[in-house]
Structure 1
Amino acid sequence: MTVVTLVSALSLAAWLWLLLARGFFWRTDVRLPAREEPDDWPSVCVVVPARDEAAVLPASLPSLLAQDYPGRAEVFLIDDGSTDGTGGLACELARRHEGLPLTVASPGEPPAGWTGKLWAVRHGIGLARAREPEYLLLTDADIAHAPDSLRALVSAAGTGGFDVVSQMARLRVESVWERLVVPAFVYFFAQLYPFRWIGGGRAGSGRGRATRTAAAAGGCVLLRADAAERARIPDAIRHAVIDDVALARAVKGTGGRVWLGLADRVDSVRPYPRLHDLWRMVSRSAYAQLRHNPLVLAGTVLGLALVYLVPPAAVLVGAATGQGTTAALGAAAWLVMAGTYLPMLRYYRQPLWLAPLLPFTAFLYLLMTVDSAVQHYRGRGAAWKGRTYARPDAVAEEGRAG
């Protein structure tokens, strides 16, 4: 057996393991769980951190104000130092659209050790606590909600006894690059954090890996207020660039229950028309996901190459050199890969012929991940809307030095 054949066999084995033993991550049927509407609806405060969001706010904020929620609810939009008139536009939209009451406030610049978003969330939660809500809905400024979104989230949380109910908003897929990259982004996220494992129970209950896995989608997170206090949200995760996953881990670490699934009627209205836009979205946090560890980066690059790049390479090499076994192993791995991608393409209503192109998209993500590390070591890592954030250990060292 040649080295190429052996590597091809390893790639196929990896795909069989992913297919059967990774929480069926490739399935897209994890939606809001069965729920019953309560007799007495709990109060909810919606917190929307916003920085330079005037372009998307007209398509998102009215959907929050128009929530058909039987209980008491209000919206707090926290203007995080915007320079495009986000706060004023929000007030104007509230005047034009009847619905839930809106409060617009600004927390000022974040202190050292805080990301701008989490500093805004902290300010919003502080204002909300004066209303003594039972739930907090943390939602991004680019997320549009169907009229029954809030009542569905609250019903699911109450029925299932969840402290966090999060939906991964359906991202926009209109440009060529969005069609190629966006469904894969959600597919890779589900592979990393299988949705079925996330709702597997409370941390420390002895139910294995499914219990330890925790994640959320920051665009739509319903959080029980008392669970937020127990987990010290957001103070405990104030430096987190990937704040949604950090939030879920903090809640689960204090004994809370977390649920995450795909959304049916919660949509992101933010456009990513160019590859450059999508590249920035991924690369700004990819190296943070790897804990800024060069060894983890190297392992990730090798893993991506083995799983996604070896199958098509094996087919080409096998066909060119007459090694039928190598070509067959590569084709089988490629077939499994494409087959697991089909449900996500259907969810995004995209043509199924995009499935065999997943190795190319994975190669783009590999390059984005490497670029994320390069930008980090150049001092431009985790940059977003004019701010660049240091890694958590650097923040801690600065704090001790001061």
Structure 2
Amino acid sequence: MLHPPGRVGQTARVSALVWIAAVSLAAWLWLLLCQGFFWRTDVRLPPRREPREWPSVAVVVPARDEAQVLPASLPSLLAQDYPGRAEIFLVDDGSSDGTGELARGLARRHGGLPLTVDSPGEPPAGWTGKLWAVRHGIALARAREPEFLLLTDADIAHAPDSLRALVAAARTGGFDVVSQMARLRIESRWERLVVPAFVYFFAQLYPFRRIGRRGARTAAAAGGCVLLRAEAAERARIPDAIRHAVIDDVALARAVKGSGGHIWLGLADRVDSVRPYPRLHDLWRMVSRSAYAQLRHSPPLLAGTVLGLALVYLVPPAALFAGVALGGTATAVLGGLAWLVMTGTYAPMLRYHRQPLWLAPLLPFTAFLYLLMTVDSAVQHYRGRGAAWKGRTYARPDALTDEG
């Protein structure tokens, strides 16, 4: 029996869609069960007990043009309730908005932990500005011989017991790095749509449970809050060994773990970012400035990432709608199931960020935005404007001269 050519073509299209939808669902089932349960949000500071003697800590804060956020963040560091010796070193990285003077004024007004404000000058070739500032801060702190360094960004506000909890966790668990992913600010419509997904995607790439497991290869940290054992920093040559890294937190974790260190990363309860990203443009710049660096500036990796994002995040709703439109029941069911699994894995992250669950089915749209941001990151790189931040543009690492 012969079938009309149009009928055969439509059957072939539906058959192809069924296979694509099936692969997407299989990918989601693998992510659900085999990717370190990345979607769970219960990885918080590990069990800890307070030491009899509290080690000394140096808090290093690199800051470039941070006058907008310092009044909401620096007082929280000055007010740390820490039983041992602690001191803050704020490194003014060539600010033009009076960051250094503002920091001194806040210290005079609020008191608390001792504060030193200094500036290292412009970074030499081969260094990012932030890591050059961190290097200067660590050098200042080294004279005090601290046991731990807390590397924290200028936009991070800490609860009064934050430092105490971090040190107790590191001492109890024998960790060389204890890092917390700060709870990001979510107030605007675009922050609500984009920010929880940022943490969700990060956890998908670097499942927190694997990071804390000895012997596991996965390594990452969250640069806003990194407690680092000073001895481990010297052993891993931090920050010199990662001086050109744009994604410095992941590079730091890899260096420490590669030198035999034990690291831990989890979600924060009382460590918050106060930096606003009110417009889509602001969030776009935050992601696109480093997305292509994450892919090691590799066109094949970029192509694979785009295809992967499309298969995992865009195919499920497309298959559901196409199946309904073309009468392909199997396509619609497979696409709908994949979308359902996706939505279910995203819901815990929305709850963690105190956002409504009706945002979960919108994850495919958010993923599409991230796909565009990633492509734009590559475009900006090849235009010579990649990895640009606060007036500086950084070259890819293999374009730099090794400086020892």
TM-score by shorter chain over 0.5: yes
Tell me which of 120, 138, 142 is aligned to 1:125.
Answer: 138
Asked whether 1:147 is paired with 2:160, we answer yes
SS at match of 1:266: strand
Which residue matches 1:59? 72
The match for 1:251 among 253, 256, 264 is 256
Aligned length: 391
Q: Does 2:177 align with 1:177?
A: no
1:333-348 matches, within 5 Å, as 333-348=338-353
Equivalent AA in structure 1 for residue 368 of structure 2:
F
Matched letter for residue 143 of structure 1: I
Letter in 1 for 2:53: D
* Separation in 1, partners of 2:147, 2:169: 14
1:372 partner amino acid? S
Q: Does 1:327 align with 2:332?
A: yes
Verify: 1:311 aligned to 2:323, yes or no.
no
- Give the corresponding residue for 2:120: 107
Q: How far apart, in 2, do the equivalents of 1:240 and 1:128 lie?
A: 22
Name the CA distance, whole Å, in 2 between partners of 1:292 and 1:198. Answer: 24
Deviation string 1:43-88 (CA, Å, 9 cap, x unpaired) is 0000000000000000000000000000000000000000000000
Q: What residue in structure 2 maps to residue 72 of structure 1?
A: 85
Match for residue 96 of structure 2? 83
Instruction: Provide the rounded CA distance (Å) in 2 between the counterparts of 1:104 and 1:349.
Output: 36
For residues 362 and 169 of structure 2, the distance between their equivalents in structure 1, rounded to whole angstroms, comes to 36
What does residue 219 of structure 1 align with? 224
1:375 corresponds in structure 2 to 380
Say yes or no: does 1:96 pair with 2:109: yes
The question of 1:162 aligning with 2:167 is answered no
CA distance in 2: counterparts of 1:265 and 1:120, whole angstroms: 26
Distance 1:152 1:276 in 2: 36
Does the residue aligned with 1:221 lie in a helix, a strand or coil? strand
Instruction: Provide Cα deviations, 1:77-107, integer angstroms capped at 9, x if missing partner.
Output: 0000000000000000000001000000000
Other-structure match for 2:15: 2
Partner of residue 41, structure 2 = 28
Query: How far does residue 302 in structure 1 lie from its aligned partner after superposition?
Result: 0.2
- Partners in 1 of 2:21 and 2:117 — Cα distance? 56
Residue equivalent to 1:42: 55
**Counterpart of 1:284?**
289
* Separation in 2, partners of 1:185, 1:322: 36
- Larger-gyration structure (1/2): 2
Q: CA deviation at 1:396?
A: 3.1
Unaligned runs of 5+ in 1: 202-206
SS at match of 1:396: coil
Structure 1 residue matching 2:400: 3-state secondary structure: helix
Indicate which of 31, 46, 56 corresponds to 1:18.
Answer: 31
Aligned-pair Cα RMSD in Å = 0.9
Q: Deviations over 1:250-287 (max 9, x none)?
A: 00000000000000000000000000000000000000
Q: Secondary structure at the match of 2:223?
A: coil
Q: 4+ residue runs of structure 1 moved beyond 2 angstroms? A: none
Match of 2:235 among 227, 230, 251: 230
Which residues of 2 match residues 349-364 of structure 1 at below 5 A?
349-364=354-369
- Give the superposition deviation at 1:366: 0.2
Structure 1 position 194 matched with structure 2 position 207 = yes
User: 1:199-257: per-residue Cα shift (whole Å, max 9, x none)?
Assistant: 011xxxxx4xxx10000000000000000000000000000000000000000000000
Question: SS at 1:270's partner residue?
Answer: coil
The separation in 1 between residues aligned to 2:57 and 2:82, in whole angstroms, is 9
**SS at 2:401 equivalent:** helix
* Letter aligned with residue 78 of structure 1: V
Q: Counterpart in 1 of 2:273?
A: 268
TM-score normalised by structure 1 residue count: 0.97
Secondary structure of the equivalent of 1:244?
A: helix
How do 1:290-305 residues align onto structure 2 when only pairs under 5 Å count?
290-305=295-310
**Partner of 1:138: helix, strand, or coil?**
strand
Task: Give the Cα–Cα distance (whole angstroms) in 2 for the partners of residues 16 and 396 of structure 1.
Answer: 44
Q: What per-residue deviation string (whole Å, max 9, x for no partner) do you get for residues 131-154 of structure 1? A: 000000000000000000000000
